[in-house]
Amino acid sequence: MGILEGKRILVTGVLTDASIAFSVAKLAQEEGASVVLTGFGRLSLVERIARRLPEPAPVLELDVQNTEHLDTLAARVGEHVDGLDGVVHSIGFAPQTALGGNFLNTTWEDVSTALHVSTYSFKSLAVACLPLMKEGGAVVGLDFDATKAWPVYDWMGVAKAGLESASRYLARDLGKQGIRVNLVAAGPLRTMAAKSIPGFKEFEDSWPEKAPLGWDLSDTVPAAKACVALMSDWFPATTGEIVHVDGGVHAIGA
Ligand SMILES: NC(=O)c1ccc[n+]([C@@H]2O[C@H](COP(=O)([O-])OP(=O)(O)OC[C@H]3O[C@@H](n4cnc5c(N)ncnc54)[C@H](O)[C@@H]3O)[C@@H](O)[C@H]2O)c1
């Protein structure tokens, strides 16, 4: 029996089969969950990728900047499952001007887009799913360690710092409803989001060398396993936590 047997899980953020969310959806199904996906923009592409999962999974449209999408999400998910036990936020975006070493010149307009999509949406998604989480459950988001200023990560780093804080406030406010809220801070992985960061190579070169356990830039499974574990019944008293899945880099001095 899998660790998510009988659980109903919403996974956002599948774009390609390299997406962290794709690995989460696959592992969740393998561990016994019913999975519903959301996609942004290129829905036919997401549907094509979804067909590579072990089981068919419905794909619903969700742009986290679209209030109507959020307001109707619970009803649309409810057409496929009678409730949710887990929600995965695997969404991030920052305009090119907010990344790559342009920190001092990025406009508020571009910063606000990064914060809306990558930070505020963690709260919006969780709240949109509440009507389906009457029996409690788990919300998990994908983080990149925001305790340091990294090369080229710039305003996305600020967005992740906000995500870490938002996660703690959500944990505070949803705890009484039996909802746990946690983040998985993954090391660098070669996904579409990562490839769109100018200078991402700086991470690629140094991370595997620094990590005590080593680090495979193309393997999304370790981060996905942590997401699945956090949604299982094996972390019943853990909330507001950040689990690092980075080969150990966060623990090591320069
Ligand atoms: N790849 C890495 O190195 C890495 C490391 C740590 C954390 N993360 C985080 O993991 C998460 C998933 O990213 P990924 O690396 O799998 O890349 P990805 O490109 O596969 O996924 C990013 C997802 O965000 C979605 N998205 C963008 N704007 C959206 C919007 N307005 N509404 C809804 N969805 C939107 C995209 O459609 C895509 O599915 C992100 O939060 C990212 O910051 C990535």
Partners of 243 in beta bridges: 184
| Residue 196 in tokens | 């769109």
Instruction: Summarize the confidence of residues 202-217 as an average pLDDT.
Output: 95
The strands making up 241-245's β-sheet, listed across from edge to edge, are: 59-61, 34-39, 8-11, 86-89, 137-143, 179-186, 241-245
Q: Is residue 62 lining ligand 1, measured as CB closer than 6 Å?
A: yes
Mutate to test the pocket of ligand 1, among 124, 142, 153 (most ligand atoms within 8 A of CB): 142
Distance (Å, rounded) from C-alpha 114 to C-alpha 99?
Answer: 10
- Residue 127: per-residue pLDDT: 98
pLDDT (tens digit per residue) in 21-73: 999 999 999 999 999 999 999 899 999 999 999 999 999 999 999 999 999 99
pLDDT (tens digit per residue) in 128-161: 999 999 999 999 999 999 999 999 999 999 999 9
- Is residue 160 part of an annotated ligand binding site? yes
pLDDT (tens digit per residue) in 84-133: 999 999 999 999 999 999 999 999 999 999 999 999 999 999 999 999 99
Residue nearest to ligand 1 atom 20, measured at CA: 19
Q: What angle do CA 228, 8, 122 make, to 5 degrees?
A: 65
Q: What is the dihedral of CA 129, 134, 136, 141, to 10 degrees?
A: 0
Q: Is residue 90 lining ligand 1, measured as CB closer than 6 Å?
A: yes
Mutate to test the pocket of ligand 1, among 37, 91, 99 (most ligand atoms within 8 A of CB): 91
Q: Is residue 40 lining ligand 1, measured as CB closer than 6 Å?
A: yes
Distance (Å, rounded) from C-alpha 142 to C-alpha 8?
Answer: 19
Helix (H) or strand (E) holding 61: strand 59-61
The CATH class of 8-248 is: alpha beta
Q: Is residue 92 lining ligand 1, measured as CB closer than 6 Å?
A: yes
- Residue 220: per-residue pLDDT: 98
Is 254 a residue whose pLDDT tops 80? no
Name the percent of the chain lying above pLDDT 70: 100
Distance (Å, rounded) from C-alpha 205 to C-alpha 129?
Answer: 39
- Is residue 91 part of an annotated ligand binding site? yes
Alpha-carbon distance values, 250 to 86, 149, 213 (Å):
27, 13, 12
Torsional sign, CA 94, 95, 96, 99: negative
Torsional sign, CA 92, 94, 95, 100: negative
Q: Is residue 117 lining ligand 1, measured as CB closer than 6 Å?
A: yes
Structure-token match 């992740």, residue found: 160
Instruction: Summarize the confidence of residues 203-215 as an average pLDDT.
Output: 95
Alpha-carbon distance values, 161 to 139, 142, 242, 252 (Å):
18, 12, 12, 20
- Is residue 90 part of an annotated ligand binding site? no
